[in-house]
Structure formats: structure tokens, C-alpha cells
Amino acid sequence: MTFEEIKALDEQYVMHTYSRFPVAADHGKNATVWDTEGRAYIDFTSGIGVCSLGYADEGWVQAVTDQAGKLAHISNLYYAAPYALTAQKLCTRTGMANVMFANSGAESNEAMIKLARKYSFDKYGKGRGTIITLNKSFHGRTITTLAATGQEVFHNYFFPFTEGFRYANANDMDSVEEVAGHDVCAVMVELVQGEGGVLPLEQDFVTRLADLCAKRDWLLLVDEVQTGAGRTGSLFAFQQYGITPDAVSFAKGVAGGLPFGGVMAGEKCRDVFTPGTHGTTFGGNPVAAAAANYVLERLDDELLSQVREKGQYLRERIEAMDLPCLGKTRGLGMMIGVEVKAGFNNKELAAKLTEHGLLVLTAGQGLRLLPPLVITKEEMDKGLEILEKTLA
């Protein structure tokens, strides 16, 4: 099918929840994507942080097709090896106690919110269900995760929203204390705010927040939907911050391209969910879990150290270009934000770059780069060359 044919079907039959770039993706290899017209693009997006091993990775394809040929799905009423092995890998590499699987980031955060409220209910009874989140956060698109998201633009249209969220400023303990109260059961944060603009939390704030949580028996919930699965240069970002969360949600890059997510619980929360208190038909699906197993195997120390090096290389090269429209870079590992200077529009810049063969994301007022973790030096250099030529 041609781009025009696909676009016509999309316009007529698909709800317009996204304004798309004028590209119809057809296939990819590593960090390069080809459209239906045969044009190549260097991908600095990974499908919004999903395709951590890039496109058509041979081992990944093998793991997925092997499992699809054996058992594509069986309900959670039965045991199956793929989810059990994935849970083992996640726990042994993070020190968390156990896992509940889900299918998306929002759903994983919903599970984490339910876990926190039930932990508190079991111990203290009703009236202690409030969760503090941060301004500029993003936690998902369900009614509850929209309510958890600390951005007013998301609190529209869909009233009534779920109660029980209060918002504090990032890197500001006074602001956290201001919204504290006897009704609080947890604090939920992204360690690097993704959609909000790639804003890493300061170490000192995170350390003090973790201390306060421990003191008040508030659960420390870390949304690692975007920062997880090696994106920041450690398997999970919390491992770089030296904290021990009570629960960690994940999704996006964990299965390298298939819908998969979940929440890991620490020792204190391992038995909060009991049969019947939470569930999902697809959670832990064998094919998605086999993909996650393979991704986790590949995310060894060597690949993680390459993530840190590549992230640094990209940031140094971009800052050295000294482009009129771009400012400083920020981020952690290969989760990179680039400041867009006043007078320039990030969405217009992204559209221009796409036109010239480089896929990038926006976040807040800036550009956001989430390249596949396996991107080669050649692909990075080609992408950087397009960036420099187009934006100069």
C-alpha cells in the first residue's frame, strides 16, 4: 500500500487521537526505518522508547516466533514458563520481591496505585488513600492515571476524575511537606520526567523523599515506564539513585516492541494482592513475556555501559553543533532532552527533521531523543549529520 492509500483509510476509519507525521512506516532494521515509498529514516524515537533492541533484531524475532509457534496465549489460571522466567530475571536483577504483569504503562501504574491503596487499607483502614505526585509528571491516559498526572492540561473533559491525588513540585521538599497529611499513603514519581520534558530529579531530593517516605510509612512508588529497561544506562533508573522503592512500574521498552508491562513490589508489599483483588486477561502473555525475557538477557552490563557512552556521545555532539535553535541537553543515558530556544517551535523542528530523514520526539518545549539502545555509531553519526544540516 502507498502512503496516500493508508492515509485515506486512516482519515475515514480511525479516530484522530494523534496528529501524525506524513510517514507510513513499513519496515526497519536496527535503528533505521523505511517508509512505504522506500525512504530511509534514522530513528531517534524507538517508537516512544519501546523498540529497545531496534527493529527486526534476529534473536528477538526468533524468541517471539518460537513462542508464538508453541503457545501464544493461556490464561492466568495456569502456570507458564515465560512469565515465571521474566519475573525471576526482574527480581534477581533489582532486589525487588515479586511482580504482577500488565500490558501497558497506564495499566501498570493503575496496578501500582491499587497496590499502594490496599497496602494502606489493610494496615490503617479507610481514609488513607491519597497519593502525592509531582507537577510536570505523566502517568498515563486512564481516568485514574490522568488524575495522577501533575499537569492541568490533562485534567479536562472526562470528569469526574478519580479522587485522591495531590501535586508537589519536583526537587522541592517544602512543596511535598505542604501537601502532606494524615490521608497520604504513597508518593509516586518518575526519576526522569519523560513527557514533561526529560527532567531528571535531583539526587538530594530523591534521597530526602525516600527518607520521608520511610519515616511516615508512605510507599515510594517509582514510575519506570519510560526510564526502565536499560534506557537510562542501568536496568532501572532507581538503581542509579541508590534508593529502594516499595514498588516500580515498567512497560514501554521491556519487551522490545510488544505490549508488556507490570509492577514490581518490594518485600513489604509482596502479599498485598491476593487472588481476586487484581487481574488482567493478557498480563504475562507468553509471547510478550518471551520477548521480555530475551530483551532482559540482552541488557547485560556491557550493553548498559554502551547506553551510557552513546548517550554522552550524542549529547556532546549536539551541544558542540551550537545550533541557533537548540540549547543545552539533559537526561540520563539514552533518554535525552534538548532545549529548544525561545522563538522556535519544537513540533515544527521535529516535522522538519522527519522530512529530512530523522525521526525525533518532543517533550515539554524541547526535543526528546530515545534511540534504540543498539543504535550503531554509523547510524548515530548519520542522524547527527541530518540534525546539523537541517537545523543550521
Ligand X SMILES: *Cc1c(COP(=O)(O)O)cnc(C)c1O
Residue 339 backbone dihedrals phi, psi, to 5 degrees = -65, 135
Site residues for ligand X, window 121-160 (CB under 6 A)?
138-140
Rounded-to-integer distance, Cα 263 and Cα 36, Å = 37
| CA–CA dist 369, 311 (Å, integer) | 10
Residue whose entry in the numeric block shows the C-alpha cell 517508509 = 35
Residues facing 369 on adjacent strands: 336
- Binding residue for ligand X, selected from 147, 248, 251, 334, defined by CB under 6 A: 251
State the minimum distance, in angstroms, from the CB of residue 191 to ligand X.
Answer: 10
User: Is the torsion defined by CA of 227, 229, 231, 237 positive or negative?
Assistant: positive
The least CB distance from residue 278 to ligand X, in Å, is: 17
Residue pair 257/115 in contact (Cβ under 8 Å)? The answer is no
Which residue's CB is nearer to ligand X, number 134 or number 325? 134
Residue carrying the nine cell digits 516512544:
48
Total number of residues that touch ligand X (CB under 6 A): 15
- The three-state secondary structure class of 310 is helix
Task: Kindly state the smallest distance separating residue 104's Cβ from ligand X, in Å.
Answer: 4
Residue type at 115? L
CA distance 233 to 240: 9
Q: How many residues are there in the chain? A: 392
Q: Does 226 bind ligand X (CB under 6 A)?
A: yes
213 three-class SS: helix
User: Among residue numbers 30 through 59, which ones bind ligand X (CB under 6 A)?
Assistant: none
Q: Which of 57, 110, 190, 339 binds ligand X (CB under 6 A)?
A: 190
Residue 383 engages ligand X in binding (rule: CB under 6 A): no
Least separation in angstroms between residue 247's CB and ligand X is: 14
Which residue among 63, 102, 115, 225 contacts ligand X (CB under 6 A)?
A: 225
Alpha helices of 187-300 — where are they, by DSSP H? Answer: 203-216, 238-241, 286-298
Closer of 140 and 337 to ligand X (Cβ): 140
110 binds ligand X (CB under 6 A): no
Q: Which residue is nearest to ligand X (CB)?
A: 105
Query: Is 194 an interacting residue with respect to ligand X (CB under 6 A)?
Result: yes
Q: Which is nearer to ligand X, 190 or 246 (CB)?
A: 190
Q: Taking CB under 6 A as the rule, does residue 101 contact ligand X?
A: no
Binding site for ligand X (CB under 6 A): 104-106, 109, 138-140, 190, 194-195, 223, 225-226, 251-252
